[in-house]
C-alpha cells in the first residue's frame, strides 16, 4: 500500500521540484545541421538529434538510424539505404551516414530511435533529405546568358548593368510525381514558376570565387506545377560576378564576366520516368526589363513602366525577346550550397521622418542595419523616387556619406501609376540607419516605409541580459553588427565601397559570434572559400573569396583559417572541417615558415595591431611607436599559437608524428621569442604595450615562473597609464578580456566592459552607436576608413560575456561537457543568459542579493556540467531548498580556490548559497 501512495505522490514531487514531467523524446532532428535539406552533396552526411526526458541526468546509451528510399519503406521500418542497427554509443550529434553509396538525386527518408539510462524512445518523426547533383556530368543542358552590355548600360568604373530575364515554356507529358530544380544563377538569381517566386531566399546563391567553385541551390517545385502549359523564369543580377567596379584596378578587383545561368528542372512522372527541362538556346532572354541597374555599392534602379507582366507565366508574348546565348562556364566546381541563403529576417518600422532644407526628407530607422527599404507609394506614371542611405547624419540633419567613400548607395524607383505600388530592391543591400528621400509624390509618411533586415537565414541561439544597462546595450549593438555583416560570407562592413570578407576581422570574432548565432555552416563554407583562395604554393590571402587580391603573406589575417576550424570543433563538435582543411593548413604553415623565418622567428607582418586607439582623435592609425606593437612579435606569437593548434589537430587526426614536429617547432620558436623580446628583469616584452605582453601570456610563451610578473606589467599599464581603459587593437583585443579574467583580474575586465568614456565599447554607446564601430574613435576620426558597422573590435568580448559572466563554456567539443563558472564580478548583480547548443538549451540565471547567491541552470540531455559555485564549503549550498549533498545525481568533485565544484547531469537546478 505504502508503495502505491508513493507512486501516486511521485508526480507531485516532480512538479514541486520544478521538473515538469515530459516523456522521453528525440527532437530537433538534423542532417548536416539542417532540417530536411534539399540537394546536399556530403557523401557521408551527419545526423544529429536532441534528447529530452522526464528526469535529471538523462543520457543516451544506444541509437538506431534508419534511412529508406521511400516513406512507405521507412514506415515499415525498412532501412534499405541504411540500417545502422542498434549502436551502443552515446553520440547524438554529427553521426556520419554509413549506408549504401548515395547517388545523385536520391530521395531519402530517415528516423532515429534511442536507448537511454531512462528507457527507450519511440521512433522519431520521419525526416527527409535529398541528394543534389554530385558530379558535373549529372548536369544537362548548357550555360546561357547574354554576354554583352546593352545601349542603356555603362561599363565604367561605376558599372551599370541591367538585370537579365530568361524564360521557357514546357508541357509535362504525364502525371507528375515530383519536380526538382537545380539552379546555378550567377551572380544572383530569382527563380519563378508559373508567376510565383520559388523559395524565400534573397541575394542567392552564396558568393564564391566563381572560377574555383559555384554553389547550386535545389528546390522541390512539385506544388508549383500544373498540367498543360507551364513557364519557368529566372532573373539574373550582377552580385559579385559582374562585380561592382569594372574597368578599374583589375590587378586588385576580380570580376568574372556577365551573369549566367545553368538550370535543370527534373520532372519525375508517376510511372517513374523522368523528363529534363534544361537551359539551352530555346530559352528566351531580355535585358530590357524593369531592373535598369543593380550594383551592390551603388544601388538598384527599378522602372515600373518597364515591367513585363506575366513574363514567368505561360502564354506571355516573348517575340521581342532575344534568343538566350550559349556562354562559357564559370570554371569553378559545382557544389551544393550547404550554408543558408540570405533572407529578409526582420522588418522594422522607422522612428521618424523629417523634412530637409534642401528639399526631400530624412527617415530614421532608429537602428543601424543592413538590408533595404520597402516602399509603399501612390503617384503618377513616371514619378521618380530616390532613396539614399547613410549610417549617420551631419549636424545640419543631412546624410553623412563621406565614410562611404565612392559607393553611391542610391535606389531609384520609377512609378507606373494607377494605384498603390509596393517596391523593394532585388539585387542590392545597404548598410544604413538613415534614408534620404527625394522625389516622393506628396508628403511621405512613416507608414510608407519599412526597413528590411537581410542576412543569412540562421537562428539566433544566444540571449543575454544583466543588471548592467551598458553591458546589455553593447550586447545588442554586437548582435546588430554581426547580423549586418553575414552575407553568405562574413564581410567587414555593409555600407562603403568595400564589404569584403577580411580574414583578420573574424579570427576570434567567429568564436564570440557563435554564442549568438548558429554560424556553423556559414563558417564551414568560409573555410572552403579560404581553401579555394589558397595559391598552389601555399599562400593564403587576407580576403577570401579573394574578390580583392591581397596575398600579402602575413600571419595574423590568414591564421584565421586555423582559428575558425578550431572554433567549429570546440563550439559545434565539427571534426570534419579540421579533417578537410588540415592539408591546406599544413601547407600554409610550412610555406610561411620557409619564406619568412629569420633567427627562429616569423618576420612577416602587414597590419600590426590594427586600429589601436591613436594618440590623437582625428587619426585612423597611431603613429606613435609607443602605441604600436612590433610586427615580428605579433607574427611570431600568433604563429606559435597556430603551431599549438596544428599539434592538436594532428593529434585529433591521429598523426602523432606530425603532432610531435609541431610541438618541437613551438618549443624552439618560444625560446627564440623570449630571447628576442623578453626582459626578465622588468617582466616586460618588447616595448611593453598591453598586446606585446598579452600575446605571449595567452599563447603560453612566458616561462611559468614569470607569468605573474608579466601579468602585473599588463595590469600596471592598463590601470596606471590608461586609467583602466583599452589600448589594444584588433589583435590584442582578441585576448584582452579572457586574459584579465583568467589571470585574476575579473574586476578589471568588468571595468573595461562597462566603461562609457573613451576608448571603450561603452563610449560608442554613449555616442549613439547602435552597432560596433571600426575605430575606437569612430565619431572623430577621418572618414576615409571609418565604418560605424564593423565587428572586429569586439575581440573576445562576447566570449567573455558567455564564458565568464554567464558562465557557459564548452569543456568538451560541442558542449558535451559544460563548464559553468561565472566570475560574478563585483557590481554586477544579475545575469540571465541562454545558449542553444547542438545538444539543446543551456541556461544560466544568477542573482546576488544581500550576500546571497541564487543561481538557476539548465543542462540539456546527453550532456553534463561542472558547476563552480562560490562557497567556502559544500554545506553552504542548497539545491531547491535541500542540502546539495542530499540531492541525488549531484556529485561533489572538488574544492578549488573559492569555489565548490559540482558535477551534474541534465535537468534544471536551482542553487542557493548562504554563506
d(CA 729, CA 851): 38
CA 636 to chain centre: 28
* Diameter over CA atoms, the chain: 93
* Interacting span for ligand BGC (CB under 6 A) from 201-209, 498-506, 701-709, 751-759: 498-506
Minimum separation from the CB atom of position 792 to ligand BGC (A): 6
Q: Minimum distance from CB of 500 to ligand BGC (Å)?
A: 7
The distance of closest approach from Cβ of residue 241 to ligand BGC in the complex, given in angstroms and rounded to an integer, is: 22
Cis before 759? omega within 30: yes
d(CA 432, CA 233): 32
Between 657 and 696, how does the x/- string for binding to ligand BGC read (CB under 6 A)?
----------------------------------------
The 3-state secondary structure of 185-221 reads EECEEEEEECCEECCCCECECCCCCCCCEEEEEEEEC
Helix, strand and coil percent figures for the chain, each rounded to 5: 25, 30, 45
Q: Given the rule CB under 6 A, which of 54-62, 501-509, 517-525, 701-709 is the region that contacts ligand BGC? A: 501-509
**Pseudo-torsion of CA 627, 633, 637, 639, nearest 10°?**
120
Q: Please, which residue, 504 or 613, has the CB nearer to ligand BGC?
A: 504
Alpha carbon distance 725, 714 (integer Å): 12
Q: What string marks each residue from 550 to 589 as x (binds ligand BGC by CB under 6 A) or -?
A: ----------------------------------------
Task: Kindly write down the DSSP assignment for every residue of 775-808, as one continuous string.
Answer: STTTTTS-GGG--S---GGGTTHHHIIIIIII--
Round to whole Å and give the CA distance between 670 and 676.
10
Q: Which is closer to ligand BGC, CB of 287 or CB of 540?
A: 540
Q: In whole angstroms, how close is the CB of 852 to ligand BGC at the nearest point? A: 45
The answer to whether residues 731 and 695 touch, using CB atoms and an 8 Å cutoff, is yes
Handedness of CA 877, 881, 886, 889 (dihedral sign): negative
In the list 53, 145, 207, 504, the residue contacting ligand BGC (rule: CB under 6 A) is 504
- Binders of ligand BGC among residues 19 to 48 (CB under 6 A) are none
* Nearest to ligand BGC of 102, 493 (CB atom): 493
Nearer to ligand BGC by Cβ, of 556 and 686: the residue is 556
CB 734 to ligand BGC: min, Å: 13
Residues 6 or more apart in contact with residue 838 via CB below 8 angstroms: 48, 50, 93, 94, 572, 573, 814, 815
- List the end-to-end C-alpha distance of the chain, in Å, as a whole number: 42
Q: What gap in Å lies between CA 510 and CA 104, rounded to an integer? A: 33
State in angstroms the smallest separation of the CB of 461 from ligand BGC.
25
Q: What angle do CA 411, 414, 416 make, to 5 degrees?
A: 150
CA dihedral 118, 124, 130, 135 (to 10 degrees): 20
Min dist CB 596 to ligand BGC, Å, is 19
The residue (of 161 and 563) whose beta carbon lies closer to ligand BGC is 563
What does the DSSP assignment read for 488-535? SSB-S-SSSS----BSGGGTTHHHHHTTTB--HHHHHHHHHHHHHH--
Please choose, out of 98-106, 201-209, 423-431, 500-508, the segment that lies near ligand BGC by the rule CB under 6 A.
Answer: 500-508
Shortest Å distance, C-beta 258 to ligand BGC: 28
Q: How far apart are CA 793 and CA 777, in angstroms?
A: 12
CA distances from 13 to 10, 23, 343, 494, 912 (A): 5, 16, 46, 54, 20
Of the two residues 554 and 816, which places its CB atom closer to ligand BGC in the complex?
554
Reading the block at residue 727, the C-alpha cell is 589600448
Q: Which of 334, 434, 440, 607 binds ligand BGC (CB under 6 A)?
A: 607
Examine residue 846 and tell whether it contacts ligand BGC (CB under 6 A): no
Number of residues that bind ligand BGC (CB under 6 A): 10
Give φ, ψ of 330 to 5 degrees. -70, -25
Q: Going by C-beta distance under 8 Å and a sequence separation of 6 or more, which residues neighbour residue 6?
A: none
792 interacts with ligand BGC by CB under 6 A: yes
Tell me how far, at minimum, the Cβ of 790 lies from ligand BGC, in Å.
Answer: 6
Nearest alpha carbon to residue 781 among 618, 623, 622: 618
Q: Which is nearer to ligand BGC, 607 or 801 (CB)?
A: 607
Q: Does 609 bind ligand BGC (CB under 6 A)?
A: no
Pick 143 or 526: Cβ nearer ligand BGC: 526
Cβ closer to ligand BGC: 291 or 493? 493
The residue range among 273-281, 316-324, 502-510, 622-630 that interacts with ligand BGC, by the rule CB under 6 A, is: 502-510
Classify residue 746 by burial, with Cβ atoms within 10 Å: 0-12, 13-18, 19+: buried
Strand order in the sheet with 284-286: 196-197, 188-193, 230-237, 164-170, 284-286, 322-323
Residue 139's contacts (CB-CB under 8 Å, 6 or more residues apart) are: 133, 182, 262, 264, 334
492 binding ligand BGC? (CB under 6 A): yes
Is residue 502 part of the contact set for ligand BGC (CB under 6 A)? yes
From candidates 301, 318, 424, 498, binder to ligand BGC by CB under 6 A: 498
In the complex with ligand BGC, which residue's Cβ is closer, 116 or 728? Answer: 728
- Nearer residue to ligand BGC within complex by CB, 628 or 754: 628
Minimum CB distance to ligand BGC, residue 774 (Å): 6
What is the Cα–Cα distance from 173 to 318, expressed in whole angstroms? 23
Among 505, 513, 529, 630, binds ligand BGC (CB under 6 A): 505
SS3 704: helix
Query: Of the listed pieces 194-202, 438-446, 497-505, 562-570, which binds ligand BGC according to CB under 6 A?
Result: 497-505
Q: Which one, 414 or 485, has the nearer CB to ligand BGC?
A: 485
- Supply the minimum distance, in Å, between the C-beta of residue 697 and ligand BGC: 24
- Pairing label, strands 230-237, 188-193: antiparallel
**Nearer CB in complex with ligand BGC: 12/251:** 251
Of 290-298, 490-498, 624-632, 740-748, the window that binds ligand BGC (rule: CB under 6 A) is 490-498
Looking at beta carbons only, is 790 or 821 nearer to ligand BGC? 790
Q: In angstroms, give the least distance from the CB of 102 to ligand BGC.
A: 40
Stretch that binds ligand BGC, among 60-68, 496-504, 831-839, 903-911 (CB under 6 A): 496-504
Q: What is the H or E stretch that residue 473 is in?
A: helix 469-484
Closest approach, Cβ 818 to ligand BGC, in A, equals: 33
Footprint (CB under 6 A) of ligand BGC, residues 726-785: 785
The residue among 383 and 505 lying less far from ligand BGC, judged by its C-beta, is: 505
Region near ligand BGC per CB under 6 A, out of 99-107, 310-318, 341-349, 492-500: 492-500
Whole-number minimum distance, CB 491 to ligand BGC, in Å?
A: 9
Does 456 participate in binding ligand BGC (rule CB under 6 A)?
A: no
Write the interaction track for ligand BGC spanning residues 331-350; mark x where CB under 6 A is met and - where it is not.
Answer: --------------------
Q: Select 237 or 504, whichever has its Cβ closest to ligand BGC.
A: 504
Tracing cell 587576407 back to the chain, one arrives at 542
- CB nearer to ligand BGC: give 491 or 567: 491
Q: Which is nearer to ligand BGC, 30 or 790 (CB)?
A: 790
187 neighbors 240 (Cβ within 8 angstroms): yes
Binding site for ligand BGC (CB under 6 A): 492-493, 498, 502, 504-505, 607, 785, 790, 792
Amino acid at each position: 500500500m505504502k508503495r502505491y501512495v508513493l507512486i501516486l505522490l511521485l508526480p507531485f514531487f516532480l512538479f514541486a521540484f520544478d521538473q515538469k514531467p515530459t516523456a522521453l523524446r528525440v527532437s530537433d532532428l538534423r542532417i548536416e545541421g539542417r532540417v530536411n535539406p534539399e540537394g546536399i552533396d556530403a557523401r557521408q552526411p551527419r545526423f544529429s538529434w536532441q534528447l529530452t526526458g522526464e528526469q535529471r541526468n538523462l543520457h543516451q546509451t544506444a541509437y538506431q538510424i534508419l534511412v529508406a528510399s521511400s516513406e512507405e519503406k521507412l514506415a515499415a521500418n525498412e532501412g534499405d539505404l541504411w540500417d545502422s542497427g542498434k549502436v551502443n554509443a552515446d553520440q547524438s550529434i554529427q553521426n556520419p551516414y554509413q549506408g549504401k553509396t548515395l547517388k545523385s538525386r536520391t530521395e531519402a527518408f530517415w528516423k532515429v530511435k534511442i536507448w537511454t539510462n531512462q528507457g527507450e524512445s519511440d521512433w522519431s518523426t520521419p525526416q527527409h533529405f535529398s541528394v543534389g547533383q554530385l558530379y558535373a556530368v549529372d548536369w544537362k543542358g548548357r550555360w546561357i546568358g547574354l554576354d554583352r552590355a546593352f545601349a542603356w548600360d555603362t561599363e565604367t568604373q561605376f558599372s551599370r548593368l541591367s538585370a537579365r530575364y530568361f524564360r521557357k515554356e514546357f508541357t509535362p507529358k504525364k502525371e507528375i510525381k515530383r519536380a526538382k530544380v537545380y539552379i546555378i544563377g550567377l551572380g544572383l538569381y530569382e527563380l519563378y514558376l508559373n508567376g510565383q517566386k520559388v523559395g524565400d531566399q534573397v541575394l542567392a546563391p552564396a558568393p564564391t570565387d566563381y572560377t574555383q567553385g559555384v554553389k547550386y541551390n535545389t528546390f522541390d517545385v512539385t506544388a508549383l506545377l500544373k498540367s498543360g502549359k507551364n513557364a519557368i523564369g529566372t532573373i539574373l543580377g550582377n552580385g559579385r560576378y559582374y562585380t561592382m567596379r569594372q574597368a578599374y584596378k583589375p590587378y586588385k578587383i576580380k570580376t568574372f564576366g556577365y551573369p549566367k545561368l545553368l538550370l535543370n528542372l527534373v520532372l519525375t512522372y508517376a510511372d517513374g520516368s523522368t523528363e529534363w527541362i534544361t537551359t539551352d538556346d530555346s530559352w528566351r532572354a531580355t535585358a530590357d526589363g524593369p531592373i535598369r541597374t543593380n550594383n551592390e555599392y551603388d544601388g538598384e534602379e527599378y522602372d515600373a513602366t518597364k515591367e513585363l507582366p506575366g513574363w514567368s507565366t505561360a502564354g506571355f508574348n516573348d517575340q521581342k525577346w532575344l534568343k538566350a546565348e550559349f556562354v562559357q562556364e564559370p570554371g569553378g566546381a559545382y557544389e551544393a550550397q550547404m550554408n543558408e541563403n540570405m533572407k529578409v529576417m526582420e522588418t522594422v518600422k522607422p522612428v521618424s521622418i523629417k523634412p530637409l532644407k534642401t528639399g526631400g526628407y530624412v527617415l530614421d530607422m532608429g537602428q543601424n542595419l543592413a538590408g533595404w527599404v520597402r516602399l509603399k507609394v501612390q503617384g503618377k506614371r513616371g514619378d521618380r523616387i530616390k532613396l539614399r542611405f547613410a549610417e549617420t547624419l551631419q549636424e545640419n540633419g543631412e546624410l553623412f556619406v563621406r565614410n562611404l567613400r565612392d559607393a553611391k548607395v542610391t535606389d531609384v524607383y520609377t512609378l507606373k501609376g494607377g494605384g498603390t505600388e509596393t517596391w523593394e530592391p532585388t539585387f542590392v543591400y545597404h548598410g544604413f540607419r538613415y534614408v534620404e528621400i527625394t522625389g516622393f509624390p506628396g508628403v511621405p509618411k512613416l507608414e510608407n516605409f519599412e526597413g528590411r533586415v537581410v542576412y543569412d537565414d540562421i537562428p539566433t541561439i544566444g540571449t543575454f541580459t544583466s543588471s548592467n544597462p551598458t553591458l546589455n546595450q553593447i550586447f545588442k549593438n554586437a548582435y546588430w553588427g554581426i547580423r549586418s555583416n553575414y552575407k553568405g560570407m562574413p564581410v567587414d562592413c555593409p555600407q562603403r565601397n568595400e564589404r569584403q570578407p577580411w580574414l583578420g576581422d573574424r579570427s576570434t570574432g567567429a568564436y564570440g559570434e557563435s554564442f549568438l548565432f548558429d554560424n556553423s555552416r556559414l563558417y564551414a563554407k568560409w573555410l572552403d572559400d579560404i581553401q579555394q583562395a589558397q595559391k598552389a604554393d601555399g599562400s593564403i590571402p587576407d580576403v577570401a573569396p579573394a574578390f580583392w587580391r591581397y596575398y600579402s603573406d602575413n600571419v595574423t589575417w590568414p591564421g584565421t583559417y586555423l582559428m575558425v576550424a578550431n572554433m567549429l570543433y570546440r563550439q559545434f563538435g565539427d571534426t570534419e572541417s579540421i579533417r578537410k582543411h588540415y592539408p591546406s593548413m599544413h601547407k600554409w604553415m610550412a610555406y610561411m615558415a620557409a619564406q619568412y623565418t629569420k633567427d627562429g622567428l616569423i618576420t612577416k607582418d602587414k597590419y600590426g595591431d590594427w586600429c589601436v586607439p591613436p594618440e590623437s582623435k582625428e587619426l585612423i592609425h597611431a603613429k606613435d611607436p609607443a602605441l604600436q606593437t612590433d610586427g615580428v612579435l605579433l607574427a611570431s606569437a600568433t604563429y606559435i599559437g597556430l603551431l599549438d593548434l596544428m599539434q592538436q589537430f594532428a593529434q585529433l587526426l591521429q598523426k602523432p608524428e606530425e603532432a610531435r614536429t609541431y610541438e618541437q617547432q613551438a618549443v624552439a620558436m618560444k625560446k627564440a621569442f623570449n630571447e628576442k623580446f623578453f626582459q626578465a628583469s622588468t617582466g616586460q616584452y618588447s616595448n611593453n604595450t598591453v598586446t606585446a605582453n598579452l600575446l605571449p601570456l595567452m599563447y603560453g610563451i612566458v616561462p611559468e615562473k614569470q607569468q605573474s610578473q608579466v601579468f602585473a606589467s599588463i595590469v600596471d599599464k592598463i590601470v596606471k597609464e590608461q586609467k583602466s581603459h583599452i589600448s589594444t587593437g584588433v589583435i590584442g583585443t582578441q585576448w584582452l578580456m579572457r586574459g584579465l579574467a583568467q589571470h585574476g583580474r575579473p574586476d578589471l575586465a568588468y571595468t573595461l566592459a562597462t566603461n562609457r568614456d573613451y576608448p571603450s565599447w561603452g563610449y560608442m554607446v554613449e555616442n549613439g552607436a547602435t552597432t560596433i564601430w571600426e575605430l575606437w574613435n569612430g565619431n572623430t576620426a577621418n572618414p576615409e576608413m571609418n565604418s560605424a558597422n564593423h565587428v572586429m573590435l569586439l575581440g573576445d568580448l562576447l566570449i567573455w560575456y558567455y564564458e565568464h559572466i554567464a558562465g557557459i563554456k564548452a569543456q568538451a567539443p560541442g558542449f558535451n561537457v559544460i563548464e559553468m563558472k561565472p566570475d560574478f564580478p563585483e557590481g554586477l548583480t544579475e545575469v540571465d543568459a541562454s545558449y542553444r547548443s547542438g545538444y539543446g538549451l543551456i541556461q544560466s540565471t544568477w542573482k546576488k542579493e544581500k550576500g546571497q547567491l541564487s543561481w538557476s541552470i539548465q543542462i540539456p540531455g546527453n550532456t553534463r556540467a561542472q558547476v563552480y559555485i562560490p562557497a567556502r564549503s559544500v554545506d553552504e549550498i542548497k539545491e531547491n531548498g535541500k542540502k546539495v549533498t542530499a540531492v541525488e545525481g549531484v556529485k561533489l568533485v572538488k574544492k578549488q580556490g573559492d569555489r565548490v565544484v559540482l558535477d551534474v547531469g541534465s535537468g534544471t537546478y536551482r542553487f542557493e548559497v548562504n554563506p
